[in-house]
Amino acid sequence: MTSYAPPSDWPADERTARAVQDELRARVVLDEPGPAPGQGHVTGVDVAYDDERDVVAAAVVVLDAATLDVVEEATAVGTVAFPYVPGLLAFREIPTVLAALSELTADPGLVVCDGYGIAHPRRFGLASHLGVLTGLPTLGVAKNPFTFSYEPPAAARGSASPLLEGVEEVGKALRTREDVKPVFVSVGHRVSLATACAQTLALTPRYRLPESTRRADALCRSALRRAVGA
C-alpha cells in the first residue's frame, strides 16, 4: 500500500492555488509514451459532490488492463475545503482522491480521470495535477469539449480529430462508438496523446465511456449516498 497525501500547505484561496498550479505545471512530463494498452493495471478515478453539505466522495477502481476485470476498488469521503473557481476544480477534489488511492493495495498503474489533463485553460487539469503529485502516468477522458473546438471525427470507431484552442492541439476528439458523440482525450502526465487514445479505445469495448471511469462514477455516487444518508 502506498500513501498518497496532498502537500501540508494545500492552498485554501484562489491566489495561492494559481501560484501552486503554475509551479506544478512545469513538472508535467510530456515526452514519455506511457504504458501500452492491455498491460498491467488501469485505474479509473471519479468524484461526486453534495454541494448543500460540502461533502465530496472519491472512488478509484483498479482494472486488469487485459481483461477489464475489477482487481480492487476504494472510496474516500471528505469535506470540500476550497471554493468553486473555474479552472481550479482540482483543488476541491484531489485531497479526497489521494485518500482513496491510499486505500489501495494494488499498483494503480495507469490512472484515467473523468475530466481533463492539459486540455485545460491553464494546461493543468485534474489528470495532470494528480499525475504530478503521485508520479503515476495519467490521462483525462472528458464527456464534453469544455471551451475547446474540434471538427467532428469520421463516424467509424477509432476516428479522431484535433481538440484545439486556436491552432494549439490540446487533445483529441475520439470516436469510441460508431456514429456516437466522441469523447475528449488529453494527456495528463507521463503518457503520449497517441497512447492516451489507444488506451481509451482499449477501455471502451462496449460503451462510449471507459470502463475504468464508468465503474468509478457508479462507485463514488454510491459512496456519497451512504455518506449523506440518502
| d(C-alpha 66, C-alpha 75), whole Å | 23
Residue list for the binding site: 46, 114
Helix, strand, coil fractions of the chain, as percent rounded to 5: 25, 25, 45
As beta bridge partners, residue 56 has 49, 78
Residue list for the binding site for Mg(2+): 46, 114
| d(C-alpha 218, C-alpha 220), whole Å | 6
Return phi, psi of residue 139, to 5°. Answer: -145, 165
- Sheet strand arrangement including 138-142: 70-79, 55-64, 41-50, 110-113, 138-142, 183-189, 168-174, 160-165
Under a CB-based contact definition with an 8 Å cutoff, are residues 101 and 86 in contact? no
As beta bridge partners, residue 78 has 56
